[in-house]
Amino acid sequence: MELTTVWFCLIAVLWVGYFTLEGFDFGVGMLLPVLARDDRERRVLINTIGPVWDGNEVWLLTAGGATFAAFPEWYATLFSGFYLPLLLILLALIVRGVAFEYRHQRPEATWAGWWDRVIIVGSFVPALLWGVAFANIVHGVPIDADKEFTGSLWTLLSPYGILGGLVTLTLFLTHGAMFLALKTDGEIRHRARSFAVRAGAVAAALTVVFLAWTQGHTGDLGSAVLFVLGALALVGGLLAAAAGREGWAFLGTFVAIALAVAGLFVALFPDVMPTTLAGGLSLTTTNASATHYTLTLMTVVAAVFTPLVVGYQAWTYWVFRRRISVSHLPGAEPAEAPREGVTA
Q: Would you list the DSSP string of 65-123?
A: HHHHHH-HHHHHHHHHHTHHHHHHHHHHHHHHHHHHHHTTSS--HHHHHHHHHHHHHHH
Helices (H), 184-326: 187-218, 221-242, 246-268, 292-319
Q: What DSSP element (H or E) covers 272? A: strand 271-273
What's the mean pLDDT when you consider all of the chain?
90
For the stretch 10-21, pLDDT in tens is: 999 999 999 999
**pLDDT (average), residues 301-324:** 87
**Is it the case that residue 339 has pLDDT exceeding 60?**
no
pLDDT at position 278 is 84
For the stretch 224-272, pLDDT in tens is: 999 999 999 999 999 999 998 999 999 999 999 999 999 999 999 999 9
Q: Are 222 and 247 in contact (CB under 8 A)?
A: no
For the stretch 286-299, pLDDT in tens is: 999 999 999 999 99
pLDDT band at 280 (very low <50, low <70, confident <90, very high): confident
Higher-pLDDT residue of 148, 229: 229
Q: Where are the domains of the chain?
A: 3-321
Domain 3-321: assigned CATH number: 1.20.1630
Rg (CA), the chain: 20
**Is it the case that residue 153 has pLDDT exceeding 50?**
yes
SS3 271: strand
Which value, to the nearest 10 degrees, does the dihedral of the CA atoms of residues 328, 333, 337, 342 take?
-40
CA distance 125 to 90: 10
Residues belonging to the chain: 344
Instruction: Return the DSSP state at 284.
Output: E
**Is it the case that residue 306 has pLDDT exceeding 80?**
yes
Nearest to 56 by CA among 18, 91, 26, 101: 18
Express the helix, strand and coil content of the chain in percent, nearest 5 each.
75, 5, 20
pLDDT at position 331 is 61
Contacts of 76-84 with C-beta under 8 Å, sequence gap 24+, read: 76/147, 77/143, 77/147, 77/148, 77/149, 77/273, 77/283, 77/288, 78/137, 78/273, 80/148, 80/149, 81/141, 81/143, 81/149, 81/151, 82/133, 82/136, 82/149, 82/156, 84/153
pLDDT at position 343 is 40
Nearest to 94 by CA among 52, 57, 39: 57
Cis peptide before 270 (omega within 30 of 0): yes
Q: What DSSP element (H or E) covers 273? A: strand 271-273
For the stretch 79-128, pLDDT in tens is: 888 999 999 999 999 999 999 989 888 888 889 899 999 999 999 999 99
pLDDT at position 329 is 72
CB atoms within 10 A of CB 83: 12
**Is it the case that residue 341 has pLDDT exceeding 70?**
no
Chain centroid to CA 21: 6
**pLDDT (average), residues 195-220:** 92
For the stretch 41-50, pLDDT in tens is: 899 999 999 8
Higher-pLDDT residue of 6, 1: 6
